[in-house]
């Protein structure tokens, strides 16, 4: 089937242009996203984005193709799903280079202070202790009390919505963010919500946990800057991954708790901040080695330190009393088949890959990770969902980034 007209979300934002191929499953997902009628015709095919692509100079397209192929080198481009993602990634790269020629520079940026690298020139392998690193980092800041109180109230079956609202209302930043998020593109509600009690009644306690965990984690780590990682870019990657995971979860046959996926996506690479924080110059050396040896950064971490950022992140999430299933999603985001629920882990795995492919922010990984066998089949995904999902990530990201990251003091 082919779209006979544009598909737009309730706010009028383009999700899929006329001429794009579409599947019955995608029509169902559009319905979940609040789109009533999807205009479809069953004949002529026209590939989306072709006219825009032709308008970009050939040498720029060739450069974008070369860089994208290099970044996708571990992926099988014969897989229709991967190929669609590759195409989207290549077109995005071509657009970026066309706008800013600097976008073709793929070299690793130098850290602010070169002398900070001297502690990086150490022996090539040494075991690190996740618990020790986590404790060293969390001693540097404090998680606000309201976080523990809210999570405890959410987990207490005796606590009412009013009890939870009372705890949240004592924190001005948190109350403001709850209202901002409820009124953002994240929920696309038709009416404006202006009281906390109404907001909580609408979004429920699980969604509240999203906001509380997100705001707390970001504000905690924002106070611990690093010279070796661009924090804005790191959180852009993380927030985009959470947004993508939440969107992908709507492809499940049954409606499930989407907010858990957002938090898992948001925190999936948090262990990397702990590694960078503690290993500084040594971690930069690792970034450099991974790039020159053309291997994944998570693989380089495991090779050098005996464990990678996903294990450290999962242990931190567990220390922060997040649910076990969420800790598993963080632990298994590169290898969804390793433990826990495959479907749930696979959503984070795929969200991370999409965000990496599109270069939305960056958490240090240069090569596009490989989708583990069975992920797209098990999730029942087809290639037609790539373009609308990317478009919706793009649309929601600006709002969510503003709420979660920008205004955190």
By the 8 A CB rule, do 355 and 248 touch? Answer: no
Part of the chain binding Fe ion (CB under 5 A), chosen from 83-91, 128-136, 227-235, 346-354 = 346-354
Part of the chain binding Fe ion (CB under 5 A), chosen from 98-106, 117-125, 207-215, 352-360 = 352-360
Instruction: Indicate whether 68 belongs to the interface with Fe ion (CB under 5 A).
Output: no
Part of the chain binding Fe ion (CB under 5 A), chosen from 133-141, 162-170, 176-184, 266-274 = 266-274
Distance (Å, rounded) from C-alpha 289 to C-alpha 296? Answer: 10
Distance (Å, rounded) from C-alpha 155 to C-alpha 378? Answer: 31
Distance (Å, rounded) from C-alpha 382 to C-alpha 237? Answer: 24
Instruction: Indicate whether 345 belongs to the interface with Fe ion (CB under 5 A).
Output: no
* Among 363, 376, 391, 396, contact with Fe ion (rule: CB under 5 A): 363
Q: In this complex, which beta carbon is closest to Fe ion, that of residue 177 or of residue 272?
A: 272
Question: Which residues make Cβ contacts (< 8 Å) with residue 233, sequence separation at least 6?
Answer: 361, 362, 363
Part of the chain binding Fe ion (CB under 5 A), chosen from 78-86, 128-136, 267-275, 389-397 = 267-275
CB of 293 to Fe ion, least distance (A): 18
Distance (Å, rounded) from C-alpha 1 to C-alpha 200? Answer: 40
Q: In this complex, which beta carbon is closest to Fe ion, that of residue 30 or of residue 228?
A: 228
CB of 191 to Fe ion, least distance (A): 35
CB of 52 to Fe ion, least distance (A): 28
Question: Which residues make Cβ contacts (< 8 Å) with residue 317, sequence separation at least 6?
Answer: 267, 270, 326, 327, 330
Counting residues that bind Fe ion (by CB under 5 A) gives 3
Q: In this complex, which beta carbon is closest to Fe ion, that of residue 188 or of residue 230?
A: 230
Distance (Å, rounded) from C-alpha 372 to C-alpha 378? Answer: 11
Q: In this complex, which beta carbon is closest to Fe ion, that of residue 259 or of residue 269?
A: 269
CB of 300 to Fe ion, least distance (A): 12
Task: Give the CA dihedral 330, 262, 34, 179, nearest 10 degrees.
Answer: 170
By the 8 A CB rule, do 77 and 83 touch? Answer: yes
CB of 220 to Fe ion, least distance (A): 19
* Among 269, 301, 344, 392, contact with Fe ion (rule: CB under 5 A): 269
Instruction: Indicate whether 352 belongs to the interface with Fe ion (CB under 5 A).
Output: yes
Q: Is 8 helix (H, G, I), strand (E, B) or coil?
A: strand
* Size of the chain, expressed as the number of residues it contains: 409
Binding residues for Fe ion (CB under 5 A):
269, 352, 363
């Amino acid at each position: 089937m082919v779209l006979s007209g544009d598909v737009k979300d309730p706010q009028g934002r383009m999700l899929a242009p006329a001429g794009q191929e579409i599947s019955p499953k995608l029509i169902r997902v559009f319905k979940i996203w609040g789109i009533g009628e999807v205009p479809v015709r069953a004949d002529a095919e026209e590939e989306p984005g072709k006219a825009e692509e032709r308008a970009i100079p050939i040498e720029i397209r060739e450069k974008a193709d070369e860089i994208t192929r290099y970044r996708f080198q571990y992926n099988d481009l014969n897989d229709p799903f991967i190929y669609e993602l590759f195409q989207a990634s290549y077109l995005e790269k071509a657009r970026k280079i066309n706008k800013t020629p600097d976008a073709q520079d793929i070299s690793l940026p130098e850290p602010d202070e070169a002398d900070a690298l001297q502690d990086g020139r150490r022996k090539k392998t040494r075991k690190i202790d996740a618990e020790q690193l986590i404790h060293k980092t969390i001693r540097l800041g404090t998680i606000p009390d309201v976080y523990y109180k809210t999570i405890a109230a959410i987990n207490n079956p005796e606590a009412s919505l009013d009890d939870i609202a009372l705890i949240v209302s004592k924190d001005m930043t948190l109350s403001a963010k709850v209202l901002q998020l409820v009124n953002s593109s994240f929920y696309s509600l038709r009416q404006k919500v202006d009281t906390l009690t109404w907001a909580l009644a609408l979004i429920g306690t699980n969604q509240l946990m999203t906001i509380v965990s997100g705001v707390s984690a970001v504000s905690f780590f924002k106070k611990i800057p690093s010279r070796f990682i661009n924090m804005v870019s790191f959180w852009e990657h993380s927030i985009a991954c959470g947004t993508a995971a939440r969107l992908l979860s709507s492809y499940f046959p049954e409606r499930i708790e989407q907010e858990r996926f957002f938090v898992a996506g948001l925190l999936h690479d948090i262990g990397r901040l702990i590694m960078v924080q503690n290993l500084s110059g040594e971690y930069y050396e690792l970034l450099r080695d991974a790039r020159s040896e053309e291997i994944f950064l998570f693989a380089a971490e495991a090779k050098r330190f005996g464990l990678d950022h996903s294990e450290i992140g999962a242990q931190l999430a567990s220390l922060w009393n997040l649910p076990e299933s969420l800790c598993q999603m963080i632990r298994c985001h590169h290898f969804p088949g390793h433990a826990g629920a495959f479907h749930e882990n696979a959503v984070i795995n795929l969200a991370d890959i999409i965000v990496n492919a599109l270069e939305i922010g960056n958490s240090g990984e240069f090569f596009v990770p490989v989708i583990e066998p069975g992920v797209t089949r098990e999730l029942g995904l087809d290639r037609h969902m790539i373009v609308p999902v990317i478009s919706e990530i793009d649309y929601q990201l600006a709002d969510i980034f503003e709420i979660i990251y920008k205004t955190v003091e």
